[in-house]
Structure 1
Amino acid sequence: MLARAEQFIWLTARVLEQRRFAYHFLGAAAEPVEAALAAYRTDDDGYGHALEPDLRGPVSQPLHTAHALRVLDAIGRCGGQRVERVCRYLSEVSTPEGALPAIHPSQRGYPYAPFVPVIDNPPSDLLATGPVVGLLHRNQVWHAWLFRATDYCWAAVEALDKSHPYEIHAAVAFLDGAPDRSRAQAAADRLGRLVREQRLAVLDPRRRDSYPVAAGYAPGEHHYPHDYARVPTSMARSWFTDEEMQLSLDHLAGEQEEDGGWPVHWKQWAPGTALEWRPIVTIEALRTLRAHGRGLD
């Protein structure tokens, strides 16, 4: 499995994903990952240049910056003056509520995926804000931006009723890092019931066609227990039985394609973006399998 994935990465991946793969699976140092990521930094201390492949062009965006923070978190480098500068950027692009929009209007004029429309005065968005706030709290980052952004996330998460998988992912990312652990546990327990009641996770991959696909998602864009609980310590892990998680991981392992990479299931709108996403998805699949104790031989 890992050897095939490695060949796929060398054949298709951007320099950043090559460096990430080498760090996570070949024992390479973190510094080359940081150097590759630095190429995506922008003058306003955000990140751009299509770091998140569905948003093209040089301008910084909250989603690019969230992607950069995840990369830094994964190599243990999410702190110091660099993150202080990122928080200043987040403050500058936030909505009046103090949270992040999905897409900042500066994206207008550059290519972007049709399912992430650019509008003037965009509202606060849990999908953009939750993962960033949770990650910064988990790394014990303290910055004034976090106060109102955290309040927004609590209000948004605790108000969730009818939801969809990506929104739940964002909520879990927030709850996994939220400082108030008892409040987070209560919110996670409620979301777990919601996920099961609304059938937002395919609990038996052999019967996945019997599960609904959320409105606006691509045909067959199902989500599985491992998508919600990418590590065993996630609060979402308790939502699923051991058998359900093992079936989910079996399905994930079985999705490796002949060329060694994993597929992209969401809507594809341009040939280049699909090529750039697959190495990212492949690295995350391998990291998820390993985190849950699966061998990669």
Structure 2
Amino acid sequence: MADLARARAFIHGAARLIDRRWFAALFDGDDPGLLLKALSGYQNGDGGFGHGLEPDTRTPRSQPLNVEVALQYMADIGAADSTMAKAACDFLHQASAPTGGVPILLPGFEADAHAPHWRGYARPPELVPNGGIVGLLYRLGVEHPWRDATAEHVWRWIEDEGLGAHDILDATLFLESVPDRPRAQAAAARLAAALPQSQWFKADPATPGYGVTPLWFAPTPGSFCRPWFEDALIERHLDHLAALQQPDGGWPISWEPPGPAATLEWRGVQTVKALRTLKAYGRL
């Protein structure tokens, strides 16, 4: 069983303000609006988000990746700031490629510290982050022309063969909230069958190193993807997750961030995520 008191001490002592507010909203009943105020500090004048909101990219410049992260914070506490979100959509519209959609990172992020896995990164618009962003906008009830136009591209990308676990994860954020439910359920069934063989999927919690686990897809028992996984598999991953708590009360990360500050920031994020999931499954 994880130790909530030690985790709380870690959050208060090492996590960013936004993640302390996130923890307080989920575990202490604090006003979710306080998290939104903390989130606004990462928003730029162009409507996008920067300043290391996703800790592996330290650029102050707005990035589509950070927009997805910002919307995830809103969705997780069930509180949307429509003005903030619509401004982010305006940024996405300006940053979109002529063919539609945004790349996960725009050129220029390399000028600031970034994690090794982002070095030399240059990709066209694809399922990540567009699927996640559009899905989260539907979930939050935020309407915008960019959302509706990009949804058509997301449907096409979901039909691509050989999607990795990260792609499937963003696809599920889209499929759980998009209005066309019959089409979404059919696509979800196909992706559920493809997930076990996808790149980066980590079915065995004991496998060392980085991987996308079933708990990423089903962080709560009521998650859209929870029926994809057998109960025994979820229980093994919950056992492993609880056992990962460190002596300082926080949870570790399994990849190389750009520096010590990013390491602590990520550990704060991972700690709140771990606690949220363990609580949801009755493990706290």
What's the TM-score, normalizing by structure 2? 0.91
What is the rounded CA distance, in whole Å, between the counterparts of 1:92 and 1:204 in structure 2?
42
Tell me if 1:242 matches 2:237: no
Is the CA contact (8 Å cut-off) linking 1:61 and 1:103 kept in structure 2?
yes
Share of identical aligned residues, percent?
38
Tell me if 1:294 matches 2:278: no
Is the CA contact (8 Å cut-off) linking 1:13 and 1:276 kept in structure 2?
yes
Which stretch shows the higher mean deviation, 267-276 or 33-42?
A: 267-276
Q: 1:233 aligns with which of 218, 222, 226?
A: 222
Which stretch shows the higher mean deviation, 27-36 or 9-18?
A: 27-36
**Judging changes above 3 Å, is the alpha-carbon distance between structure 1 residues 103 and 51 closer, same or farther for their aligned structure 2 residues?**
same
**Judging changes above 3 Å, is the alpha-carbon distance between structure 1 residues 119 and 180 closer, same or farther for their aligned structure 2 residues?**
same
Could you tell me which residue of structure 1 aligns to residue 243 of structure 2?
Answer: 254
Could you tell me which residue of structure 2 aligns to residue 192 of structure 1?
Answer: 192
Letter in 1 for 2:59: G
Could you tell me which residue of structure 1 aligns to residue 89 of structure 2?
Answer: 87
Cα deviation for residue 59 of structure 1 reads 0.8
Could you tell me which residue of structure 1 aligns to residue 252 of structure 2?
Answer: 263
Instruction: Extract structure 1 runs of 4+ deviating beyond 6 A.
Output: none
Which stretch shows the higher mean deviation, 275-284 or 141-150?
A: 141-150
Could you tell me which residue of structure 2 aligns to residue 215 of structure 1?
Answer: none
Tell me if 1:37 matches 2:39: yes
Cα deviation for residue 154 of structure 1 reads 0.9
Is the CA contact (8 Å cut-off) linking 1:50 and 1:58 kept in structure 2?
yes
**Judging changes above 3 Å, is the alpha-carbon distance between structure 1 residues 202 and 89 closer, same or farther for their aligned structure 2 residues?**
closer
What is the rounded CA distance, in whole Å, between the counterparts of 1:119 and 1:17 in structure 2?
27
What is the rounded CA distance, in whole Å, between the counterparts of 1:204 and 1:268 in structure 2?
24
Could you tell me which residue of structure 1 aligns to residue 25 of structure 2?
Answer: 23
What is the rounded CA distance, in whole Å, between the counterparts of 2:178 and 2:125 in structure 1?
19
Structure 2 runs not aligned, ≥5 long: none
Could you tell me which residue of structure 1 aligns to residue 176 of structure 2?
Answer: 176
Letter in 2 for 1:98: G
Q: 1:283 aligns with which of 269, 272, 284?
A: 272
Cα deviation for residue 197 of structure 1 reads 4.1
What is the rounded CA distance, in whole Å, between the counterparts of 1:119 and 1:268 in structure 2?
15
Cα deviation for residue 50 of structure 1 reads 0.8
Is the CA contact (8 Å cut-off) linking 2:164 and 2:199 kept in structure 1?
no
Is the CA contact (8 Å cut-off) linking 1:103 and 1:117 kept in structure 2?
no
Cα deviation for residue 284 of structure 1 reads 0.9
What is the CA RMSD across the aligned residues, in angstroms?
2.0
Is the CA contact (8 Å cut-off) linking 2:52 and 2:60 kept in structure 1?
yes
Could you tell me which residue of structure 1 aligns to residue 126 of structure 2?
Answer: 125
Cα deviation for residue 282 of structure 1 reads 0.7
